[in-house]
Structure 1
Amino acid sequence: MVAAGRCRLHRGDPQDERRQVRQEGAAREVPDPRAPNGVTDEITIRPITADDFDAVAELLAELGRPTLSDASRAAAAEVYRRHVDRSDTASLLAERDGRAIGFCSLEFRDRLNWGVEQAWIPDLIVTADTRGLGAGKALLARAFQLAAQRGCWSVTLESGYQRTAAHELYRSSGMSNDGYYFLLRMADPPA
């Protein structure tokens, strides 16, 4: 089993915040990207496209997801294509000098007994050689902005307990550690 921190963006008392969103449907102030057009110094943040599959797969492998093999590539490409086409995703790519250096998977999900969606970031990665340049912070800020525009009541993500530098990024971006998640492996991950 693996336990890790789970973070949620909130300001003040979460109950008050939820009530405000439910009653008013108003977006809260969230951190803005450092530049309004999604360009941070030499880093560009943009929506992913179907053409970004190889770059995203490589970034996910750096995050610790399985490296694609010849046998798994076609199935993974189909899952990726469906993700890009879904109306409840808005995943992002960070680029510097035309090179993909970061990825933020962003999904919007319904939660029972809530009248508005929750934003969820299943994966966030910046290449090791470009960490500290602001790509992670810019990806988060853009994700927060998209969640606010969609009227989400919170943004949540899971992070491995060993990723202490990432945890500091989340805290400095306004998120708080809000619990744990637990995992029961039902089968070996696909190779």
Structure 2
Amino acid sequence: MPQPLIRPARTDDEPALARLDRDTWSPLHEVRPEPPAPDEPFFHPTCGPDAHLVAEHDGRVVGYVRLGHPTPMPTNAHVRQIRGLAVAEEARGKGTGRALVRAAVEEARRCGARRITLRVLGPNTAARTLYESEGFVVEGVLPGEFHVGGRYVDDVLMGQNLV
């Protein structure tokens, strides 16, 4: 599979993104106790298409990254946060996740952010390895912060400076 096209999300991507979210749900990386319902909207008033970059291959959505602010406080407006990342099974291990992370970092820079952060569950070693290879470092760990999949797991805080 060649490198995917990374583009801003559009309103008409919602069905494909919702399906991708359901198909990729796992307690390895999601704190929700169950996958999204089939009729649950993907976009929300505070998290619409403008908060997402989409990976597309041959006209098909194969991944997304969600960017936002870690808090609504103006004193934190210089920071962007990766608030979600999903890659379709058939696109994993082919550079799609890496392309989305790189696009998120570039989008944060384009918006004038000085830092980019994220949170990842401790057992999600594949994601942690990807983030570390793209310059993110562990900045904190909240031990046993979530109870998912029948066990307590750490919430790992990662970030990188952009300036």
TM-score (norm 1): 0.62
Distance of 1:161 and 1:135 partners within structure 2: 22
1:84 aligned to 2:48?
A: yes
Q: Which of 52, 55, 66 is residue 13 of structure 2 equivalent to? A: 52
Structure 1: stretches of 5+ with no match in the other structure: 1-39, 186-191
Residue among 129, 133, 139 paired with 2:94: 133
Within 1, Cα distance between the matches of 2:124 and 2:36? 20
Mapped contact 2:6–2:99 kept (Cα < 8 A): yes
- Counterpart mapping for 1:76-115 below 5 A: 76-77=40-41, 80-82=43-45, 83-84=47-48, 89-110=50-71, 114=75
- More helix, by proportion: 1
Q: Which has the higher contact order (CA 8 A, sep 6+)?
A: 1
Are 1:116 and 1:153, in contact at CA under 8 Å, matched by a contact in 2?
Answer: no
Residue 171 of structure 1 deviates from its aligned partner by: 0.6
Does the 8 Å CA contact 1:46/1:92 hold for their aligned counterparts? yes
The amino acid that maps onto 1:135 is T
* Cα distance, 1:171–1:115 mapped onto 2, change above 3 Å: closer
CA RMSD for the aligned pairs?
2.6
State the match for 1:158 in structure 2.
119
How far residue 146 of structure 1 moved from its aligned partner, in angstroms, is 1.0
1:26 corresponds in structure 2 to none
Aligned equivalent of 1:67? 36
Which residue matches 2:131? 170
Which blocks of at least 5 consecutive residues in structure 2 are unaligned?
Answer: 27-31, 149-163
1:95–1:101 contact (8 Å) kept in structure 2:
yes
Q: Which has the higher strand share?
A: 2
Residue 147 of structure 1 and its aligned partner are, at CA, apart by: 0.6
The alignment partner of 2:48 has SS state of helix
Matched, 1:143 2:104: yes
DSSP 3-state at the match of 2:51:
coil
Aligned residue pairs, count: 137
Distance 1:164 1:101 in 2: 21
1:117 to partner: Cα distance: 2.3
